[in-house]
Amino acid sequence: MGFRGYLLKRVVNSVILVFFVVTLNFAIFELMPGLNGALENLVNNPKSPITPQNQQALLKQYQLCQSFVNGNCVPFPIQDRYMAYLESMLTFNFGFSAKTGTLITNELFKTGRILNTLELVGTATVIALALGIFLGVLAAARRGSKYDGGVVIASLTTGSLPTFFMGILFIIIFAEGLKWFPTGGVTPPDWIRGLPPFYDQIFVRLQHLFLPVLTLTLFIYGGNLLLARATTLEALNDDYVLTARAKGLKGRTVLFKHVLKNASLPLITVAALNFGFILSGAIITETIFNWDGLGLWLFDAVTWKDFPVMQAMFFIIALSVIAANFIADILYGWIDPRIRYQ
């Protein structure tokens, strides 16, 4: 199978997987208790933020209720609801939030939540990957040394601690105690009173970003380190490593140019999964630091039983993971041509 055939096969598999995920997502919310009650509150509650016009549009869009009899929802046939749901998800027409009454797409893109999550989780993921791979390769090269034992113990310790514990600990020490960083938030509360100069904006944003990124990085990097160490140890025993060393190549060149490349396939899988879950946000970390991202938004949606927001977020997270795995498959075929001929 050539590369084009390999690529076509991965595209078809990804499309099939998208439809499977949409169907599973639909089934989850059909079986979830409390949906009808949430719809009744949505339509009958006079304090609902959704206007009557938006209520009808939402019910029609998802084919949720033909009518309400004595306050109870009379649903459409399940096949009609599934087709309406499929069309809504594939066209990214997620409807209105049951909490705020605004379009979900507006809350996604116009409120800055996606950018905030990309800023937080993306930064932590990149740092954790780079740090974990670098330290893991060095630990494998120095197997059995004090350095190897120290970094492995440190990675196991930080990876075992809950993020809420580390986050609260950092707030107590660095925010409340030393006053080096703010306790939370994306920007200061008085940010809207007037934007400071550009360089001051960057410094303020970095101050607010530091503790959440530190928390996530310490929690994530340990798994990357242990995997990089294991794959590098396995590759160090191959014959080409002995040949490279016999040719007089420097240890650093052998380690990072030859060994790491051949040990990179499992690392690509982990990196793809990490980046695939970026848009899911970091629910606990964002909640602890009051970071206005997708994770905090999803937590609020679960708290308020905001089913349209939950459906939209689950679909977006699934799409991100599928896309990340597709990119990883393409990288596999590019790095190791033997894969696409299997």
pLDDT tens profile 73-114: 666 777 777 887 888 888 888 877 777 777 888 888 766 788
Within this chain, do residues 154 and 220 fall inside the same structural domain, yes or no? yes
Please report whether residue 307 resides in a domain: no
Same domain, 125 and 77: no
Residue 74 lies in a domain: yes
Residue 240 Cα distances to 99, 150, 326, angstroms: 61, 29, 30
Give the CATH number, domain containing residue 183.
1.10.3720.10
pLDDT at residue 212, as a whole number? 92
- pLDDT given at position 192: 53
Query: What's the mean per-residue pLDDT of the chain?
Result: 77
**Is the confidence at residue 189, as pLDDT, over 50?**
yes
Taking the mean position of all CA atoms in its chain, how far away is CA 194?
A: 32
User: Does residue 61 share a domain with residue 191?
Assistant: no
Say whether both 94 and 120 belong to one domain.
Answer: no
Say if residue 1's pLDDT is above 60.
no
Q: How much is the average pLDDT of 289-309? A: 84
pLDDT 10s digits, 194-209:
555 555 677 788 888 8
Q: Are 97 and 308 in contact (CB under 8 A)?
A: yes
pLDDT at 193: 47
Check whether 279 has a pLDDT greater than 80. Answer: no
Q: From residue 297, give the alpha-carbon distance in Å to each of 79, 114, 166, 216, 315.
A: 30, 10, 22, 18, 15
For residues 215 and 308, the model is more confident at 215
**Are 287 and 299 spatial neighbours (Cβ–Cβ below 8 Å)?**
yes
**CA 307 – CA 64 distance, rounded (Å):** 12
* 109-137 pLDDT per residue, tens: 766 788 888 888 889 989 998 898 888 88
Q: Are 29 and 307 in contact (CB under 8 A)?
A: yes
Indicate the pLDDT class of residue 51, thresholds 50, 70 and 90.
low
In a shared domain, residues 184 and 288 = yes
Q: What average pLDDT score do residues 18-23 get? A: 88
Pick from 107, 138, 167: which residue ends a domain?
107
> Do 193 and 82 fall into the same domain?
no
Distance, in Å, from the CA atom of 38 to the CA atom of 276, rounded to the nearest integer, reads: 30
Residue at 341 is within a domain: no
Owning domain of residue 97: 3-107
Mean pLDDT, rounded, for 215-219: 91
Q: Is the pLDDT of residue 258 over 70?
A: no
Q: How far apart are CA 38 and CA 29, in angstroms?
A: 12
Bridge partners, 69 (sequence order): 72
Instruction: Say yes or no: 98 and 148 in one domain.
Output: no
Residue 169 binned pLDDT confidence (cut-offs 50, 70, 90): very high
Rg over alpha carbons for the chain, rounded to the nearest Å, is 24
Sign of CA dihedral 282, 286, 287, 293: negative
Over 50: is that where the pLDDT of 297 sits? yes
Q: What percentage of the chain reaches a pLDDT higher than 90?
A: 6
pLDDT band at 170; cut points 50, 70, 90: very high
Last residue of a domain, which of 90, 107, 124?
Answer: 107
Identify which of 72-86, 252-266, 270-284, 299-313 has the greatest average pLDDT. Answer: 299-313
Q: pLDDT tens-digit profile of 24-36?
A: 888 887 777 655 5
Same domain, 69 and 184: no
Q: Give domain status of residue 100, yes or no.
A: yes
Q: Give yes or no for residue 42 having a pLDDT over 80.
A: no
Instruction: Tell me which of 75, 107, 139 is where a domain ends.
Output: 107
For the chain, how many structural domains are there in total?
2
pLDDT score, position 228: 85
Do 191 and 244 fall within a single domain?
yes
- Tell me whether residue 327 is in a domain: no
- Tell me the pTM: 0.77
Rounded distance, CA 24 to CA 18, Å? 10
- pLDDT digits 0-9 by tens, 313-341: 888 888 888 888 888 777 776 666 666 55
CA distance 235 to 253: 14
Residues 151 and 38 in one domain: no
Q: Would you say residue 340 lies in a domain?
A: no
Q: Do residues 12 and 29 both lie within one domain? A: yes
Would 222 be classed as within a structural domain? yes
Question: Is 302 within a domain?
Answer: no
| 88 and 133 assigned to the same domain | no
Digit-coded pLDDT (tens) for 130-163: 898 888 888 887 888 888 889 899 989 988 888 8
Alpha helices in the chain (DSSP H): 3-31, 35-44, 52-62, 78-90, 104-109, 113-117, 123-141, 146-160, 163-170, 198-236, 239-246, 251-253, 260-262, 264-276, 283-288, 294-304, 307-335
Look at residue 290 and give its three-state secondary structure.
coil
